[in-house]
């Protein structure tokens, strides 16, 4: 699947859990990589998200949205845990290779953003979610999404050439 596919194609409507798992795996790992700020644990976080979804898969209205929310929350917990333990994995993760300077600078800037601001940027501009959808995932109001987005974009503007 092309990486520039819209969110509905990245997270298509599922059939069986096996199909869903196979279709969602790649995008889910990448989402976890963005949100956690470190690719080293992205696959573990994605696996954990699938593990939590699986028992509820038959019941949830929108498994893809449930999976996204689970990833958002797991990555937030990872962020908090890293902060508490002063391990700062987010800032110590390896930089990307083989990307443009501007993309590398964006990557570094994203890692410095507070978690919720980073999540807003990724959910809005990578997954193409609406402010209302992002608000649901983050547990905040659409107005808060708007303000977090504005703050994040201001910071990114200051860093990107």
Partner 1 sequence: MTLQHDLPGLLDELAADHHVGHAPPLDARTLPVELEPRRRPSAPRLLAAAACAALAVGGLVFVGSRDDPDPTTGNAPATDPSDVAGEEAVPYGPLDYATTEQELPMWPEANVSDPPATTSAYGMDLCDSGYGTKILRVDPTSGPSHAYSGTLCVFIDLAEPRVDAVTSCATSTEGFNYARCQRRTDNTDTAGAGSSRQAIADADDIATMRSFPSATAWDQAELFDADVAATSTQPSPEAFSDGAVTVALDAATGDGVAATVEQPGVCFQIQLPGATATGCVGRALLATGLAYGAFQDGDGPIELVGIVPDEVTAIDVDGTTITPTNNVWHYTAESDRPLTITVGSADGRTASTA
CB 100 within 8 A of CB 60: no
Among 1, 22, 40, 130, binds partner 1 (CB under 8 A): 22
Measured between alpha carbons, how far is 37 from 112 in angstroms, rounded to an integer? 9
Write down the least CB distance from residue 92 to partner 1, Å. Answer: 14
**Six-digit token string for 141:** 């109001």
Interaction residues for partner 1, span 139-158 (CB under 8 A): 139-144, 147-148, 153, 156-157
Using CB under 8 A, count the residues that bind partner 1: 75
Would you tell me the crossing angle of helices 142-159 and 131-138 to the nearest 10 degrees?
100
Asked if 42 and 30 touch (Cβ cutoff 8 Å), the reply is yes
* Out of 8, 80, 87, 92, the residue judged to bind partner 1 by CB under 8 A: 80
Residues in the chain: 161
Contact flag: residue 115 with partner 1 (CB under 8 A): yes
Contact characters 29-68, partner 1, x per CB under 8 A: xx--xx----x--xx---x--xxx-xxxxxxxxxx-xx--
Q: Which of residues 83-102 bind partner 1 (CB under 8 A)?
A: 83-84, 86, 96-100, 102
Q: Shortest gap between Cβ of 1 and partner 1 (angstroms)?
A: 11
Residue bearing tokens 């708007």: 146
Taking the CA atoms of the chain, what radius of gyration do you get in angstroms? Answer: 15
Cβ 36 to partner 1 shortest distance, Å? 11
């Amino acid at each position: 699947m092309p990486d520039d596919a819209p969110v509905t194609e990245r997270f298509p409507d599922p059939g069986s859990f096996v199909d869903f798992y196979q279709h969602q795996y790649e995008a889910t790992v990448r989402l976890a990589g963005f949100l956690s700020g470190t690719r080293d644990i992205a696959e573990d976080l994605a696996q954990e998200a699938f593990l939590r979804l699986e028992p509820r898969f038959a019941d949830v209205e929108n498994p893809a949205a449930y999976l996204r929310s689970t990833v958002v929350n797991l990555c937030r917990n990872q962020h908090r845990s890293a902060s508490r333990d002063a391990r700062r994995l987010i800032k110590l993760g390896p930089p990307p290779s083989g990307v443009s300077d501007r993309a590398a600078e964006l990557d570094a800037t994203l890692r410095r953003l507070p978690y919720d601001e980073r999540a807003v940027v990724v959910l809005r501009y990578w997954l193409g979610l609406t402010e209302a959808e992002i608000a649901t995932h983050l547990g905040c109001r659409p107005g808060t999404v708007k303000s977090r987005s504005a703050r994040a974009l201001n910071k990114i503007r200051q860093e990107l050439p």
